Structure 1
Amino acid sequence: MAADTLPLAEYLIARLQQLGVKTMFQVPGDFSMGFLDICDDSGLRLVGNCNELNASYAADGYARVLQQDTSAHGHEGARLAVLCTTFGVGELSALNGIAGSYSERLPVLHIVGMPGVASQEKHAILHHTLGDGNFDTFAEMSSHVSCATALLARHKGDPQKLADEVDRVLSTCVGEARPGYLGLPTDLLHVPVDKALLERPLALAHASNDAAREQACLEAISKAVAAVKEPIVVIDACTIRHGAVREALQLVDDSGLSFVATPMGKSALPEDHPSFAGIYLGPNGKGHEKLHKKVEGADLYLFIGALRSDFNTASSFTEFTRQADTIEFHSDRTQVFDQHFDGIGMKELLPKVAALLAESKKDRTPNELHPRNELPSREAEGEAAGPNGDVISQAWLWQRIGSVFEEGDQIIAETGTSSFGLLDTTLPGGLTRFHSQVLWGSIGYATAATLGVAFAASEEGLGRVHCFTGDGSFQLTAQELSTMIRYGLAPVVWALRNDGYEIERQIQGPERSYNNISPWDHEALLKALYAPSAPSSAGGAEEAERKSHAKDVKNVTMPQYHAVRTKDELNALLDGKLGKEGLQLVEIFMRRGDAPQALIGQAEATSKLNA
């Protein structure tokens, strides 16, 4: 290896480190181990997951934290997450999680360790293949959920092209905020690449707005604003995904306008901001009549980063805001009513719109709807609270739980009662973030994603991680708690014990057997997942294994289990009995059939749509 070159694998790692990547999620396989060896020697932290699906969920969670906080608060962190699997069996196991990241606009680089070029060219019948000699099949599957795909075997004799392909996939992945796929053959790891190529800047952002076209767009917006009296700002997911949080906050501050968020936009802007009016749930927002009157009475909607999915718009889709009264801001285009300005991105445009709106700030109606966490009346809780009112109801839980959150905490919720219930919880400060897979909605996602959220929160110096999941969802990925314990992470996992798949029961089949689950002893499970005194391998390898294990297991604290059956027990836990160190598993016993009002409304809409 010449002094002015470095191996291709090290080139890739150097690019990742330039982007601030500190952690890579992985499950080893023989086609990826050579690359993992080099990663291990580079100082990149390799997190070993229980399976590839969990690893992809963890990478998704990692990307969410760094996407939000990097854009909003100037943290120096990664702009993407990295996942490494082996060819075939490993990558297909991860594909569901990758599809979720594609659906929800998250930059996850999927590095797939592939058989060597020589084997591919011979069409060898290798293990982990379909036995047909075709080594492109799985990459073709992934291409449908990747914004950029590169099979490096196709450029084996061209080191410059190999580096170009790495850069292309990374740039596209970050710029489009979607997964990228990199097929890395075992026999290309050490191909020498010119070191000077690392000095080339990666093209990570969209092209700048065309000045003349942007001016025309601003004139259209100015005309629209001048003709209305009660505009309102709507914050959605792509505000976060495309790094426009700071610009959106500036627009709210400069304009004095009230803003609401969609479920996918929750916590993008601070929920203790005086202009925050709440989470807009369309027809599902029963109990929030004043909020809905304000939103539906607006005569102009400044819709930032819109993503009009059913659970995000209460199945209202385009009717969520009236298109004739809506200005939509996206990463690569702007729409003013029925006028389309392609290539005019919100990151550059929003500060200019903020300046325009600042001119008429004094004429705006002040916001009087700032939400607070207030416990419901006994009447509002209804039968869910039990005859003595001491049973923890959904209506009570999500208001009470808000008191435990502190500035900088990261809250991740499983799709279902947790994600819908937390929409009513007002979060503190500008660094607290809410994460939920609202669009893709893969059951079991939250627990495994908590691992990635916890690593990113630790790297960014953020607060504690809280995961909320149901007992049904928890069973799909519960084994990843062992990984959290192994690496000394200390999230609080709140497991809602309501005897099965409550979100599915709300949609259909409340008494059907397919919505039932086998009950688990969660206290015993936690003990099984952490067994420091378990016997090691026999013979002379025992000491080597112990030392290897100690290398990545540091500051492991015994996890704690808490069972909570009444309001008094939960109050005592929240008021000081919840452990500060180590993983905490809190099992909350709730009534089967009880659900947040927003979930009940969405379930009814989904049931009608399915019919």
Structure 2
Amino acid sequence: MVDIATRELRQPVDIAEYLFRRLHEVGVRSVHGVPGDYNLAALDYLPKCGLHWVGNCNELNAGYAADGYARVNGIAALVTTFGVGELSAINAIAGAYSEYVPIVHIVGQPHTSSQKDGTLLHHTLGNGDYNVFANMNKGISANLAHLNNTYDAATLIDNAIRECWIHSRPVYLALPTDMITKKIEGERLETPIDLSLPPNDPEKEDYVVDVVLKYLHAATSPVILVDACALRHHVIDEVHDLIEAAGLPTFVAPMGKGAVNETHKCYGGVYAGTGSNPGVREQVESSDLILNIGAIKSDFNTAGFSFRTSQLNTIDFHSTFVRVRYSEYPDINMKGVLRKVTQQMGSLKANPVQHISNALPEHEKDSSNQTITHAWLWPMVGQWLKENDIVITETGTANFGIWDTRFPAGVTAISQVLWGSIGYSVGACQGAALAAKEQGNRRTILWVGDGSLQLTVQEISTMIRNNLNPIIFVICNEGYTIERFIHGWDEAYNDIQTWDVKGLPVAFGGKDKYKGYKVTTRDELTKLFATEEFSSAPCLQLVEVHMPRDDAPAALKITAEAASARNK
């Protein structure tokens, strides 16, 4: 029997189908998560909406994977179940919120009548409170919606997806079991969700542009510094146009690695305060004007707050304001401002920038030492990388080491510098590799420590299950090196159980679907890099890279020392 409300609908569609078709519309092709009895019926709708179910090993890993997928694809979707599932994912969602990563988190909830009656169901706290977990997510979500009624479900879905995209942060959608099959108006699916930014007030925008141009033309040694929020808030095209038109020396902060074309003549390297190459540090800190685009000035992103730049010489561009020296202009998005500055700036005073290459340091060039050190490793990695690679680095030696590479054009860099959740990179690698496969199989390369790997190693199983072919380098250096440099050099809590890393995929049923390698010398790694079959990434490949326990990139040592001092 069809109820009256359904008969009045012109194009009836189930709520779950409406939601998943909207996700497909904005570019999602794969959905991460873990099945649970409160979301199972919703998962039945994925195939008919053109979506692939990934099926992760646990919700935390699924959240990390959705994060990695979103950084490559632009947006991601995650499905968990009420209570136990969503709380397992909450750390990953908090990381995505912290680092401006758009994830639509769909939580399967109990029947609305059970919630209303406070029924004592499994996965609850046993106190009848069905809002407690949603409230936990409120502070780490750009939008939170309960799809409890048919009359506003479509509006709530559309608004949540728009907020996710505009703010580049997670949103939370609660979908009760009885609402999955409820009918709503499907006609509105014919009109795409408007994902465009709200326009700036024209008069205010023009005023800010005039102020920026005034200081830009007066400067004698201006530079551009690009950071993560330029990526997250969709202004990369504007940034590239600005660099091309201005011809100014251009640098990136660590979290902004990969945001600009590092083969461009204007690219000058990574600026991270005292963690920078000396030439980079001198040019940025001596500049009389820094165009700072999308900055996130966290401790690890500034090598322990070691930036030596003055706000008097800085113009900050953000998604919600522009700050010119000490004058702040709120409610103004950088996108339109950057575009007009580029169009109107004319010629500028541009100093030359030092050439950045992947040449080995002088003390490593003719060394007969076969020990793989960070000073030797990262320039070699830079020489091996290809255009359009995706490079994921765990927070630790790998994340700091990658600063010393110069990327080919089109490389996407993924790391969790601000949130820094150990093991993040393995899950993120699975999501990134899946997005890469959907985009035409770009190479996906992960660098992770042996300690970090042990937290999320199960996602290698998910990679095998989804026929993904990342190249995973595991730095085997006997435990948590970054922690050792902060505190407890020889303490047991920084040690780990040694694993047969290259043999792990066998335990996950991937005996014939991967290749494993163990390298202990420079010659062995150089030979591996030169092997065409290995570099072509024909299947999942796992490489043990054995390095000394007490070796680390210089930037990590500086940052760890600062962290240790603050902790005291």
TM-score bucket (shorter structure): over 0.9
What residue identity is the alignment partner of 1:95?
A: I
**Which residue matches 2:293?**
304
Inter-partner Cα distance in structure 2 for 1:507 and 1:377: 29
Which residue does 1:419 correspond to in 2? Answer: 399
The partner residue of 1:558 within 489, 513, 520 is 513
Residue 570 of structure 1 corresponds to 525
Cα distance in 2 between the residues matched to 1:448 and 1:193: 35
> What is the alpha-carbon distance in structure 2 between the residues aligned to residue 11 and residue 160 of structure 1?
13
What is the distance in 2 between the residues matched to 1:380 and 1:576? Answer: 22
| CA deviations over 1:319-369 (Å, ceiling 9, x no partner) | 553111111111121111122222221111112111233x124x32222x1
Contact 1:485 1:582 in 2 (8 A): no
Contact 2:378 2:402 in 1 (8 A): yes
Alignment of 1:369-384 (within 5 A): 369-378=354-363
Tell me how far apart the structure 2 counterparts of residues 148 and 24 of structure 1 sit (CA, whole Å): 19
Selected match of 1:390 from 370, 376, 387: 370
1:15 to 2:22 alignment: yes
Q: Deviations over 1:272-314 (max 9, x none)?
A: 11100000010122xx211111111100010011111111112
Query: Partner letter of residue 63 of structure 2?
Result: S
Write out aligned runs for 1:201-220 (5 A).
Answer: 201-220=192-211
Counterparts of 1:493-512 in structure 2, within 5 Å, are 493-512=472-491
> Larger deviation: 498-507 or 457-466?
457-466
Report the counterpart of residue 140 of structure 1 in structure 2: 135
Match in the other structure for 2:3? none
- 5+ unaligned residues in a row in structure 1: which ranges? 68-79, 533-556
Give yes or no for the alignment of 1:28 onto 2:19: no
Cα distance change of structure 1 residues 379 and 188 upon mapping to structure 2, 3 Å threshold:
closer
**Over the residues paired in the alignment, what is the CA RMSD in angstroms?**
1.6
1:607 counterpart letter in structure 2:
S
Which of 51, 64, 77 is the matching residue for 1:57?
64
Q: Which amino acid in structure 1 is aligned with residue 552 of structure 2?
A: A
Matched, 1:245 2:205: no
Distance 1:599 1:160 in 2: 54
Q: Distance in 2 between matches of 1:315 and 1:521?
A: 35
| Structure 2 Cα separation of the partners of residues 332 and 66 of structure 1 | 24
- Tell me if 1:331 matches 2:331: no
Which amino acid in the other structure matches residue 564 of structure 1?
V
- Cα pair 2:27 2:73 within 8 Å, conserved: no
Alignment-mate amino acid for residue 524 of structure 2: E
Work out whether residues 410 and 434 of structure 1, in 8 Å CA contact, stay in contact via their aligned partners in 2.
yes
Q: Are 1:102 and 2:97 matched, yes or no?
A: yes
Aligned residue-pair number: 559
CA distance in 2, matches of 1:465, 1:59: 15
CA distance in 1, matches of 2:542, 2:308: 38
What is the letter of the counterpart of residue 258 of structure 1? Answer: P
| Equivalent residue, structure 1, for 2:303 | 314
Q: Given residue 289 of structure 1, which amino acid in structure 2 is its aligned partner?
A: P
* Closer/same/farther in 2, CA of residues 219 and 582 from structure 1, 3 Å limit: same
Deviations 1:167-191 (A, max 9, x none): 1211111110000000000000111
* Cα deviation digits, residues 128-171 of structure 1 (max 9, x gap): 11001111000000111111001222xx2xx2311111112111
- Partner deviation per Cα, 1:28-50 (whole Å, 9 max, x = no partner): 00000010011234331000001
Identity, in percent, stands at 43
Equivalent in the alignment of 2:330: 342
**Offset, 1:379:** 6.4
1:22-71 deviation per Cα after TM superposition (whole angstroms, max 9, x unaligned): 1100100000001001123433100000100000000000111123xxxx
What TM-score does the superposition give when structure 2 sets the normalisation length? 0.96
Q: Gapped runs of 5+ residues in structure 2?
A: 1-5
Distance (Å, rounded) in 2 between the aligned partners of 1:505 and 1:299: 39
Q: 1:354 and 2:342 equivalent?
A: yes
Distance 1:207 1:201 in 2: 16
The equivalent of 1:551 in structure 2 is none
Paired letter, 2:136: M
CA deviation digits over 1:201-251, x for unaligned, max 9?
Answer: 424233101111111111211221232100000000100000000100100
In structure 1, C-alpha distance between the alignment counterparts of 2:563 and 2:157, rounded to whole Å: 42
Answering whether residue 537 of structure 2 is matched by residue 599 of structure 1, we say no
Please give the secondary structure, in 1, of the residue aligned with 2:54.
Answer: strand
| 2:257 aligned partner | 266
CA contact (8 A) 1:500 1:516 kept: yes
Kept in 2, the 8 Å contact 1:408–1:462? The answer is no
SS of 2:126's partner is coil
Q: C-alpha displacement at 1:522, in angstroms?
A: 1.5
